[in-house]
Structure 1
Amino acid sequence: MLRASRSDVTPLPRLNQAQIGRPRPRPVPTQRLRDERAVLEDSLSDHAPWDSGFETGEELVFLRQGLPPHTLRKLRRSHWVIQDELDLHGLTSPEARALLVDFLNYCVRRGLRCVRIIHGKGLRSKNREPVLKHKVANWLMRRDEILGFCQARRTEGGGGAVVVLLKGQRGMMNAER
C-alpha cells in the first residue's frame, strides 16, 4: 500500500528546492568604515590639516577668518582682562589635551571671554624644545569657540603662554559673567 501511494510521485528538480541554513550576513561597508576612521583620526590628530599660517617666527598668532585685524591687536594689548588661566606644565600630551578640553568647556559655560593657557617653554623636554606649544595651538584652532589667540606678554608668560579670546555668549545673565 505504501508503495502504491508513492508510485506517481516525482522528485523535485534541484532548482525548486529550498536552501535551509543560516541567512547570509549583510555586507560590511568596509570603505565607509575606513573613511569614518580616517576622519576621526584626523580630527584627533595633533597636526593642523591646513597651512594655518598661525606662526610668525616663534610667536603663536591666530585669528579666526572673517574677524577684523584690530581684534588681534586688542588681544595683544590686553584690551580684555584675563579671567582665568590653565597651567599645562609637565603634563603629557593626552593629559594636557583632556585638561584643555575640560577647561574650554568650563570657560564657555561660565561665559568667559579671555583666558591664558600656559603651555611652558619646553626647557625640561627632550632637545629643550616645546612639546605642548604647537599642539595647544593646533587644538585651539580646531575649536569653534576660539576667536583668536596670541603669545602672552612677557609679564604674563611670554613664549610659554598664549592669551585666548573666546566667543561671547548672548543672553547670559550679568551675574554669571
Structure 2
Amino acid sequence: MNDNDFDAFKQAVAGITPYKQDKYVPPKTKIVKKTHSNEPNENSLSKQASASFTFSDIYQAHFDENGPLKYTREDIPAYTTKQLRRGDFAPEWVLDCHGMSKDEMKQELVSMIFLAQRQHIACISILHGVGTGVLKRSLPHYLVQHPKVQAFHQAPLEYGGHGALLVMLDVVEPKF
C-alpha cells in the first residue's frame, strides 16, 4: 500500500466515530436439582420397557435356511420384506449388540423397540455381528415373538449385510 492509498483511506473515513465494544457478561445461574418430575427418566423408561415384554428362549421359529434371513407378519404385505432387502427403508436407529450376552441383547432389544415406538420410528437396524453366531441365531427368534415387529430382513451391505437385520415396527399414530 502506498502513501496515496493511505491518504485516500483517511479522507474516506474522516468524521466516523469507532464503535465502542460492549462486553456482555451473562449472569451466573444456579443449578437446581429436581427431585420429582412428571417426565420419566431413562431408568424408569428402561424398567417400563423391560416389564412390558419378555422374550422366551424356548420358542424356536422356522426360517428357510437356503436364503437370506427374513420374516413378515401375516397381516403385512410380503412387499415390505422386499423393500427391506433392497434398502428402501433407511434405519433411523441402530442397536449395536457386539460384545453383548444373549440376556443383555434381550434387554436392549426390548428397550429399543419400546423407545422406538414412543418416538414413532418405523425402521431400526440391529447389528449382531457374525462372530460365533450366538446372537445371530437367537435374534430372529426373539423378533418373531414381539407383537410390534412387522417384518425383518437381512440388511443390505450398506447397513451391515450378514451381520445385521433391518426391522420394521408398528408405528402408533398419535391420537388428536
1:115 to 1:172, Cα distance in 2 relative to 1, 3 A: farther
The answer on whether the counterparts of 2:153 and 2:166 sit within 8 Å (CA) in structure 1 is yes
Q: Could you tell me which of 89, 108, 120 is aligned with 1:80?
A: 89
One of 99, 124, 129 as aligned partner of 1:90: 99
Q: What residue in structure 1 maps to residue 156 of structure 2? A: 153
Cα distance in 2 for partners of 1:44, 1:99 equals 12
TM-score (norm 1): 0.63
The amino acid of 1:160's aligned partner reads G
Contact 1:121 1:130 survives alignment (8 Å):
yes
What residue in structure 1 maps to residue 126 of structure 2?
117
Name the residue aligned to 1:165: 168
For 1:55 and 1:157, how far apart are their aligned partners in 2? 20
> Do the aligned residues in 2 keep the contact of 1:111 with 1:172 (CA within 8 Å)?
no
- The TM-score with structure 2 as length reference comes to 0.64
Unaligned 5+ runs, structure 2: 1-53
SS in 1 for 2:151: strand
Question: What is the aligned-residue RMSD (CA, Å)?
Answer: 1.9
The answer (yes or no) to whether the contact 1:47–1:135 under 8 Å persists in 2 is: no
**Selected match of 2:56 from 30, 45, 49:** 45
* Equivalent-residue separation in structure 1 for 2:139 and 2:95 (angstroms): 12
- 1:126 maps to none
